[in-house]
């Protein structure tokens, strides 16, 4: 081998070594870049997970505040375990209203801390007095939801379900009366072909039943008003007697102007939803002998109670609040005053500017004041004399009326709102000093007022002709006999969300900056931590809850929340929480918890039908009998009970209204033919209309043999 050939082989080897080294270096660089990129991506994933953990903590704290808890979840020393990481939330009260949450999430090497500032919202108060509330005469309080329609569409009452073309149905729309089969009905709403009525009277009842045979003062005999000649009788003196009866002539045995008559006039109402209360006691003593009807809740202040006298009724809750309601004072807009106005001309005085201020406004007899929105109006003293009118026109914009000296709407005056939206009109009253027993705000006009009245530091008197749809808050309330108050629950679901004020990313606490495994970094054991849902700080939290248990029994619990077994709850009716700030331990200074059965509130029936099932639902419904028609419809339509359970409820209900029988016999439902037959027979003898429904029932509803058994039971 020549020297030249050896040199060539040596140079090739050097070249190969250089190339291999270069490739190795390049590969190492690629691996290093890839590793750095992988670590960066992994860090980003863990940071994202930590961010989501912190958000989950904020959400949990937010929901906790919504139901009355503090919002404190875990701690640095004992964080909550969630997913593949840890988190804790520190809750700090910034002042009397605002709370700051700082939530830290830790996952692998990822860290994130978020802050949220919220302001809790009070539950709606309805009709509320800062001082003790005393009612000793006729009063009606109920509720409705204007988002669901007009008030009159939500009133309760018996229903006459008839075809409007039915030959024996006679309707006097001008006077709100209908007549059929010897009975007059005063109706106040029409739901499809159903007339909703609050009072019915037969011709025989209107006729005098005395043995001497003299006719009743109404001039009506027991044989008057047959179905065939009703229209002829409509023109006669007899029908004038009927109109006199429904226009206010007292029922038999009651003298003119009696409380029985006034109570009768209060018969039109909704089934529930009313709210009345105070920071003190609520006394429905009925000492004057009137009818006090609260279709909803009467809620006293902490340590106080509701006194319900004979003839008074509260259909909802009467448990006291856990804490006093703090009523913010009214802040008057700063507007330049245009002086005093005295209006007595025949042409209406119109205030239509966006803002205006007057030291006083007086509207004389037969004069009219019109306030057109949008408008902010500040008035020192506002007075309507008898015969004067005030119109609040919100057809274009809202109206905010501020009173700083007094407001007197005299008896015989009139106030009206252009619409029925209760959030379009507000009357706010600054603090007005007055001697005990007097009211600077006197609302005695003839009115259907739709809106809110807020006078937290001033006494208010409501006259019997001033009907309120919306809400009213005052230092004290003086209610004349016959007042009707209708709380509008629009916008409220019973547990409003706190108002979110700010959200931001903040600096991570020093303890959470330590890298590595989160359990080792925080020095906590990996197997002994509570999950997120169980990590709320319940030390000193007092719980008052009403609920349906899994057997359909209504119960209440009052005591430390840490001792309450939530697994026994099928449906929460109401829950309130309060923090015992001086609590020395988990139970605080309120003692051990107590639990007892309750009578379920009426408004929960349809919720129970939607949320419960099987035998517990049947047992619950049986405790609530008799059910309203709307509730019976829900029983018929539900698929959450066996058909024999539906049958048991319908049979135990007793006599079913004709509209219920029509529903059972004309519309498909879950009842078997045998169950349906049994229910119909239990309601025999049937009316001719109901027998017509039986005859027209399909073979899937009733067989011919079933119909034969029903006919035999008549």
DSSP-assigned states of every residue in 204-251: HHHS---TT-PPPTT---TT---STTHHHHHTSHHHHHHHHHHHTPPP
Asked if residue 148 belongs to a domain, the reply is no
CA atoms of 120 and 65, how far apart (whole Å): 7
pLDDT tens readout for residues 305-347? 898 887 788 888 888 877 778 788 888 998 999 999 999 989 9
H helices present in 83-207, as ranges: 203-206
Q: Is residue 177 part of a domain?
A: yes
130, two tokens: 């800062």
The domain of 701 spans 604-712
Nearest partner of 489 among 274, 304, 333, judged by Cα:
274
Altogether, the residues listed in the chain come to a count of 714
Q: Count structural domains, the chain.
A: 5
Residues 553 and 651 in one domain: no
> Do you find a cis peptide bond into 626, omega within 30 degrees of 0?
yes
The encoded tokens of residue 122 equal 């009070």
Q: What is the C-alpha separation between 672 and 597, in angstroms, rounded?
A: 34
Task: Provide the CA 53 distance to its chain's centre, in angstroms.
Answer: 34
Listed in sequence order, the residues at least 6 apart from 358 whose beta carbon sits closer than 8 Å to its beta carbon are 337, 338, 339, 340, 341, 377, 378, 379, 380
Are 268 and 198 within 8 A, CB to CB? yes
516 and 572 in a single domain? The answer is no
Please tell me the distance from the alpha carbon of residue 135 to that of residue 685, in angstroms, as a whole number: 45
CA–CA separation, 491 vs 475, rounded Å?
25
pLDDT for 255: 35
- For strands 177-180 and 170-172, give the pairing: antiparallel
Instruction: Check whether residue 519 and residue 554 sit in a common domain.
Output: no
Q: What is the DSSP pairing of strand 554-560 with strand 541-549?
A: antiparallel
Cα–Cα distance for residue pair 532/81, rounded to 1 Å: 6
- Whether 122 is covered by a domain: the verdict is no
Low-confidence ranges of the chain (pLDDT < 50): 209-215, 249-266, 493-496, 581-590
Mean pLDDT for all residues in the chain? 78
Whether 578 and 614 map to the same domain: the answer is no
Between CA 186 and CA 248 the distance in angstroms is: 12
Q: Is 11 exposed, middle or buried (0-12, 13-18, 19+ CB in 10 A)?
A: exposed
Q: Would 300 be classed as within a structural domain?
A: no
Tell me: do 570 and 690 sit in the same domain: no
For residues 439 and 576, state if they share a domain: no
Q: Which of 573, 599, 625 is the last residue of a domain?
A: 599
Residue 489 lies in a domain: no
Please check whether residues 470 and 551 belong to one and the same domain: no
Is residue 472 within 8 A of residue 127, CB to CB? The reply is yes
- pLDDT for position 75: 86
Q: Is residue 307 part of a domain?
A: no
- Within a domain: 139: no
286: in domain: no
pTM of the entire structure?
Answer: 0.54
Residue 251: both structure tokens together:
């029922």
Residue-level pLDDT at 226: 66
Q: Do residues 474 and 130 touch, judged by C-beta distance below 8 A?
A: yes
**Bond preceding residue 374 cis, omega within 30 of 0:** yes
What does the pLDDT look like over 93-127, one tens digit per residue? Answer: 887 668 899 999 988 888 889 999 887 655 678 99
| pLDDT of the residue at 359 | 95
Q: Check if the beta carbon of residue 508 is closer than 8 Å to that of residue 51.
A: no
d(CA 557, CA 572) in angstroms, rounded, equals: 11
Residues 510 and 440 in one domain: no
HEC letters along 240-287: HHHHHHHHCCCCCCCCCCCHHHHHHHCCCEECCCEEEEECCCEEECCC
337 and 470 co-located in one domain: yes
- d(Cα 205, Cα 193) in Å, to the nearest integer? 26
CATH number at 677 reads: 1.25.60
- Say whether both 621 and 703 belong to one domain: yes
Residues 609 and 701 in one domain: yes
On whether both 659 and 697 belong to a single domain, the answer is yes
């Amino acid at each position: 081998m020549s020297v030249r050939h050896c040199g060539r082989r040596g140079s090739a080897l050097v070249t190969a070594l250089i190339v291999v080294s270069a490739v190795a270096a390049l590969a190492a660089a690629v691996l290093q870049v890839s590793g750095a990129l992988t670590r960066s991506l992994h860090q980003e994933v863990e940071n994202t997970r930590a961010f989501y953990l912190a958000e989950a903590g904020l959400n949990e704290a937010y929901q906790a505040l919504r139901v009355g808890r503090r919002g404190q979840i875990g701690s640095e020393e004992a964080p909550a375990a969630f997913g593949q990481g840890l988190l804790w939330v520190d809750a700090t009260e910034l002042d009397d209203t605002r709370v700051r949450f700082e939530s830290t999430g830790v996952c692998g090497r990822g860290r994130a801390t978020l802050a949220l500032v919220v302001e809790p919202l009070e539950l709606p108060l309805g009709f509320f007095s800062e001082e003790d509330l005393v009612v000793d005469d006729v009063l009606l309080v109920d509720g409705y939801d204007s988002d669901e329609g007009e008030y009159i569409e939500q009133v309760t009452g018996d229903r006459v379900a008839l075809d409007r073309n039915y030959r024996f149905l006679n309707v006097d729309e001008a006077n709100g009366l209908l007549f059929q089969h010897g009975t007059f009905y005063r109706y106040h709403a029409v739901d499809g072909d159903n007339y909703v009525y609050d009072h019915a009277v037969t011709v025989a009842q209107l006729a005098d039943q005395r043995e001497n045979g003299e006719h009743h003062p109404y001039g009506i005999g027991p044989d008057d008003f047959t179905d065939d000649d009703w229209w002829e009788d409509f023109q006669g003196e007899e029908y004038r007697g009927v109109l006199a009866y429904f226009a206010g002539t007292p029922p038999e045995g009651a003298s003119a102007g009696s409380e029985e008559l006034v109570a009768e006039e209060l018969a039109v109402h909704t089934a529930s939803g009313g709210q009345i209360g105070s920071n003190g006691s609520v006394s429905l003593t009925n000492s004057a002998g009137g009818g006090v009807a609260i279709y909803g809740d009467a809620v006293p202040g902490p340590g106080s109670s509701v006194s319900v006298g004979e003839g008074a009724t509260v259909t909802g809750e009467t448990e006291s609040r856990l804490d006093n309601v703090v009523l913010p004072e009214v802040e008057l807009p700063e507007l330049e005053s245009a002086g005093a106005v005295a209006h007595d001309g025949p042409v209406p005085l119109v205030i239509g500017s966006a803002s205006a201020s007057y030291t006083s406004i007086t509207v004389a007899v037969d004069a009219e004041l019109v306030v057109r929105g949008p408008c902010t109006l500040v008035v020192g003293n506002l007075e309507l004399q008898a015969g004067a009118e005030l119109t609040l026109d919100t057809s274009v914009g809202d109206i905010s009326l501020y009173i700083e000296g007094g407001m007197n709407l005299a008896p015989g005056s009139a106030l009206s709102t252009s619409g029925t939206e209760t959030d379009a009109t507000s009357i706010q009253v600054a603090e007005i000093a007055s001697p005990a027993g007097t009211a600077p705000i006197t609302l005695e006009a003839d009115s259907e007022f739709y809106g809110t009245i807020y006078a937290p530091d001033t006494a208010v008197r409501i006259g019997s002709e001033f009907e309120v749809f919306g809400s009213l808050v005052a230092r004290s309330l003086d209610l004349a006999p016959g007042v009707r108050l209708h709380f509008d629950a629009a916008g409220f679901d019973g547990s409003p969300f706190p108002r979110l004020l700010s959200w931001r990313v903040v600096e991570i606490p020093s303890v959470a900056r330590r890298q590595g495994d989160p359990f080792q970094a925080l020095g906590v054991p990996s197997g002994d931590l509570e999950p997120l849902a169980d990590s709320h700080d319940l030390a000193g939290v007092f719980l008052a809850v009403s609920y349906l248990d899994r057997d359909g029994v209504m119960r209440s619990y009052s005591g430390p929340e840490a001792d309450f077994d939530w697994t026994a709850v099928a449906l929460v009716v109401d829950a309130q929480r309060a923090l015992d700030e001086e609590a020395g331990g988990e139970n605080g200074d309120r003692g051990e918890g107590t639990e007892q059965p309750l009578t379920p509130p009426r408004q929960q029936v349809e919720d129970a039908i939607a949320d419960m099932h099987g035998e517990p639902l049947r047992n619950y419904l049986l405790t609530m009998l008799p059910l309203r028609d709307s509730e019976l419809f829900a029983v018929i339509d539900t698929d959450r009970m066996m058909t024999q359970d539906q049958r048991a409820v319908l049979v135990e209900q007793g006599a079913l209204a004709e509209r219920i029988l029509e529903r059972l016999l004309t519309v498909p439902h879950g009842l078997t033919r045998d169950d349906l037959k049994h229910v119909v027979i239990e309601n025999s003898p049937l009316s001719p209309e109901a027998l017509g429904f039986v005859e027209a029932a399909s073979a899937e509803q009733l067989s011919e043999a079933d119909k034969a058994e029903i006919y035999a039971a008549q």
